[in-house]
Structure 1
């Protein structure tokens, strides 16, 4: 194959006796195209071996050339399609000090906003087809400085590039749940999926829910059309409602409002500032908690760039969607680099009165505290406001206008601020330490007009004068429309505080002649959840009261005519203090790896009902969550399996449904956590069915 390729690169070797032969048409692409092959054949005609051909032969040659020209004209579409075969750039990515291959490095080019890329294989090699106008190859790998290599695609095929990356301590840190190399995923005792940066930029998702739904085993249901502020995804068939059965992390730090008592995802980081996503669904999930039932999702954010620079982008879409994102970084000293990111987006939504807007800002700093240690600091602020509503469509409304939404005054607003710190240190060739500390405050206010039903024939009258129509029961026969009552509303006002610190160590060692790696750590976490529900006196009210008149009082016309107003107000405070300890040991038994692990959760939950004499109710829970994973390397193929204990703490919704605090004499909380046994087994391999 190599000799034939070389022959194609130098067509003069295919034609003897023509020292001064010059091809009329020639392409410097690495792969020969159909057009190129035809042209090489004509060269034999253009350069005959003898000079004494007869006139008859010359006429025959002329006829052949004429027929060939006609053939070329007839086949014009074929050369055009062949020309889209892009030249190929190939090479390897290695470390600067050891010369070892870097696995999983992203190699890409950017052309007019498009990203074309690949990742290096287990040997550190890559092959990438790039447009002819490409001039810069961008190479990135976690823990290394970014490399930009000048290329000429038309001549790149004549050489193999060797790209050397230099370790950058500023970028090294415990920011990923899993290691970036593909071989580490193959060794994982269970299923896991990584969505690297190159894939994120190619998908161009509007929100993270759209992105996550591309991961096998994940499904979602959205009510805002963008899956941004209110993420609802489930793993392996679990209820996706607000992602309450899934642990969601950002750089390894929990970001759910109150991970123990209220894990519902009413905050979700914008996809614009995410560099990668990892999803763990197997026994390795017990390393993280407290939710170990559904799995773990870890968003990875970028680190400050090493050189001064920045970028900006605008995105537009249907339904008035517009997004602006800008980042500027690399400023600071040799020991410290900082970066700022700003995002603004808005849209009209896919229903009437469903507009939204979001502002998000992030300041990040990486400090080299020593030759083998780094500190990463990140501060983030988020503001969101939308016309979100729970008012759904009746069958009549859906058939008439699926975008119908009569709620002009419903409002959902979010304010969130957070500060994270991640400190990593390598103590020696076999021991490393990682410390995470975090604090966040999250305020969510949702005002919704009370719902009622009217007959479909009254819709026009309602739209012109809401007070002129009479309400009907939801179960009454006939076509109905769900609307607001035009008289009052209610507000669900929730504020969350969360803080914690986690310390973990990874130790590679020997155990009875076997290779082993021990990971052990602990986390102390505290959270507070203030849950209020108040009643407003108009659809536009943004201030309400806890008390309300007796709904049976006929003189109270508003309340008596509104069954939704019978829902009682609420004023409850929840507090949780939790200690978690985890340990796992990976034992290498030749081709077989066994990973036993255990997680211990100890937490106290308290609730104070401020509308019931500020009664205090509490409960302490202690649980041991074991797990065992197996991975057998068969050479290019892995058989894996695992079993672990799934666990979900009692949430505020569950606590209310089961009559939280029924053990009044003892002052305790009569409620248990959800538990499960999760088992899995599978076969994992990678490769290509077709080689070229």
Structure 2
């Protein structure tokens, strides 16, 4: 581990981690030639990942039956620093860096995640970025395929004097999953490392991403999906975004056993989403645009809505790690840290008079209909100590979060309000490991996820009785390497929610007002396995297989609960399954690597059926927002060939080989999966 990284998971201490953890290196997943984030994260047991527009620019990740919509229950980090632009006040993901940037992925799902936060309900996903090389090296990747899929990635690194320099540029384009889409983004990433002294290092990072996409927010009605599942009536909709981030990490090894790491970080995210519809129930000629006259006038007289968001966040995170030992058999590691964090949100909604308007209207649409300022100021701290007693490691810990929310309605007559949340998040974990072939672990911790500022403070400044999301999370499992070339992991989990937060109308989409769902229960099993003939038998021809399988046996309302859907408030949903929580999901991949440089892999991805509302409606409704989402099986192929005596590798991948079409989401109306994608490419290493 590089000296100036914030350590999330130290691979050499894996046997002492008291909880489920998955480590993936770029070498692990690049052989599959991942097309988007989904392809990497579904290699992790317990994670349900679904697509949206086609490039995973707005990821949807659910853990152990939690809602995947906008990854609101997931804490994303990059090299230990918060990746989300508003993790305290609005954790919905409308931005994600390209997967080409990462050298590895670490996923924590147990009690160890309380060292990070604020979200400790589902899990922590930490992306690691590569460090500069000692000598000049790099790679160039070019790909092209159907549906306008094009990609270029250039990475280069070197060390000049004592300064390590790494730079990376990625551009991707695609027509995505539907018609009238044109997705594109550019991403630039720079990383500098330099020793300050024999015991101190400094790492500077900066990134910039610009997206300019023709993409709608709205899904399809049932009739629209039946007529053409890949249609998109709203070709005038556009998403424009710019994300900039920078961090400075100072690592100081005070002694051989004591290390202090401090990170200063900041980010800005501006995004404008101009759209004529926010869901399949909002069609022209409805109450929001009465002069439109209907779908026939969609491209002429119908207006639009501009959802304009500016986010600014910055903070400081300082962590101390001390490896200690007594004169007897007792030893361990003490970790403690503090964080100060600040977020500002500027939120506008401009209603325009025409399909392509980019300013407030003056007539029927009433111009500016939202002007909000929202802030979150957080102070947190944690302490966690691992006591190592021979083969047994016991790790108690405690995290404290204090968050103050502010909201101001800047329109005439608007109100202002404040609300504060203080919470203690304890955790306790156990790990037993005689050697690196077998580790047994168990743990319990308090899950916590703060509500958004808008969900506990009304637009008039009043207070909403919406408590923070809290749960008690249990797990027990095994990590085993019973023989050379074989790795297995199995975990049983249980999450008891005192109060789970869900949209008051699931069909309203991610922007719906949230409500306290009361008691819910998630429990099940997750499994991962891997085999390599080269590691097992020393064969030159490597036959390999890896698989994950998750069974969410229960994800249901267990307290006294009535439906949150409009018109069904008197209908009990106690015992019903939570929306977007498939019972079964998993993947299996089988491949071969030859000494000649040829590699090929086939992957099968299976997702079980799921409900889209708390009533567990089976028959679809006309607007497409409710109804059963059937199970689906998809086959993907990948292959490559390293040309002999060269630094060139030829690439090929096929997504959704059978070109199956199925439903992946109903929250804003029906969204289809990705169609068949065929790409070829070349990689040149230097």
TM-score by length of 1: 0.65
Structure-2 residue corresponding to 1:177: 8
2:384 to 569, 584, 604: 584
Report if the CA contact (8 A) 1:352-1:405 is conserved.
yes
Q: The residue matched to 1:242 in structure 2 has which SS?
A: helix
Q: The residue matched to 1:487 in structure 2 has which SS?
A: coil
Inter-CA distance 439–468: structure 2 relative to 1 (3 Å threshold): closer
Higher relative contact order (CA 8 A, sep 6+): 2
Structure-2 residue corresponding to 1:216: 45
Shift of residue 620, structure 1, vs aligned partner: 1.7
Shift of residue 419, structure 1, vs aligned partner: 0.7
Q: The residue matched to 2:482 in structure 1 has which SS?
A: coil
Structure-1 residue corresponding to 2:402: 602
- Structure 2 residues not aligned, in runs of 5+: 285-289, 487-532, 538-686
Shift of residue 633, structure 1, vs aligned partner: 2.1
Structure-1 residue corresponding to 2:478: 683
Report if the CA contact (8 A) 1:646-1:676 is conserved.
yes
State how many pairs are aligned. Answer: 480
Report if the CA contact (8 A) 1:584-1:598 is conserved.
yes
Shift of residue 389, structure 1, vs aligned partner: 0.8
Q: Which of 1 and 2 has greater Rg? A: 1
Q: The residue matched to 2:117 in structure 1 has which SS?
A: coil
2:347 to 531, 545, 565: 531
Report if the CA contact (8 A) 1:660-1:671 is conserved.
no
Q: Which has the higher strand share?
A: 2
Whole-angstrom distance in 2 between the partners of 1:296 and 1:567: 41
Inter-CA distance 486–180: structure 2 relative to 1 (3 Å threshold): farther
For residues 172-224 of structure 1, what are the alpha-carbon distances to aligned partners after superposition, in whole Å with 9 as ceiling and x for unaligned?
3224411133xx22221000101112113212212212211221110122221
Inter-CA distance 403–189: structure 2 relative to 1 (3 Å threshold): same
Q: Which has the higher helix share?
A: 1
Equivalent residues in 2 for 1:137-148 (5 A)?
142-143=1-2
Aligned pair 1:651/2:452, yes or no?
yes
Equivalent residues in 2 for 1:265-284 (5 A)?
265-284=93-112
Structure-1 residue corresponding to 2:561: none
Report if the CA contact (8 A) 2:293-2:302 is conserved.
no
Shift of residue 510, structure 1, vs aligned partner: 2.7
Report if the CA contact (8 A) 1:617-1:669 is conserved.
no
Equivalent residues in 2 for 1:339-350 (5 A)?
339-350=166-177
Structure-1 residue corresponding to 2:333: 517
Structure-2 residue corresponding to 1:500: 315
Shift of residue 603, structure 1, vs aligned partner: 1.7
1:387 to 214, 229, 232: 214
Structure-2 residue corresponding to 1:399: 226
Structure-2 residue corresponding to 1:418: 245
Equivalent residues in 2 for 1:597-636 (5 A)?
597-635=397-435, 636=437
Aligned pair 1:199/2:28, yes or no?
yes
Structure-1 residue corresponding to 2:74: 246
Whole-angstrom distance in 2 between the partners of 1:440 and 1:623: 26
Cα RMSD (Å):
2.8
For residues 538-568 of structure 1, what are the alpha-carbon distances to aligned partners after superposition, in whole Å with 9 as ceiling and x for unaligned?
01011125xx76xxxxxxxxx5xxxxx6999
Q: The residue matched to 1:269 in structure 2 has which SS?
A: coil
Inter-CA distance 483–244: structure 2 relative to 1 (3 Å threshold): farther
- Structure 1 residues not aligned, in runs of 5+: 1-141, 144-171, 459-466, 473-480, 550-558, 560-564
Q: The residue matched to 2:447 in structure 1 has which SS?
A: strand
Structure-1 residue corresponding to 2:179: 352
Report if the CA contact (8 A) 2:343-2:376 is conserved.
yes
TM-score by length of 2: 0.66
Shift of residue 506, structure 1, vs aligned partner: 0.6
Q: The residue matched to 2:306 in structure 1 has which SS?
A: strand
Whole-angstrom distance in 2 between the partners of 1:256 and 1:388: 22
Report if the CA contact (8 A) 1:366-1:376 is conserved.
yes
For residues 438-459 of structure 1, what are the alpha-carbon distances to aligned partners after superposition, in whole Å with 9 as ceiling and x for unaligned?
01110011000147989x9x9x
For residues 577-623 of structure 1, what are the alpha-carbon distances to aligned partners after superposition, in whole Å with 9 as ceiling and x for unaligned?
11111000000122211000000111211111112535320012211
Whole-angstrom distance in 1 between the partners of 2:180 and 2:430: 52
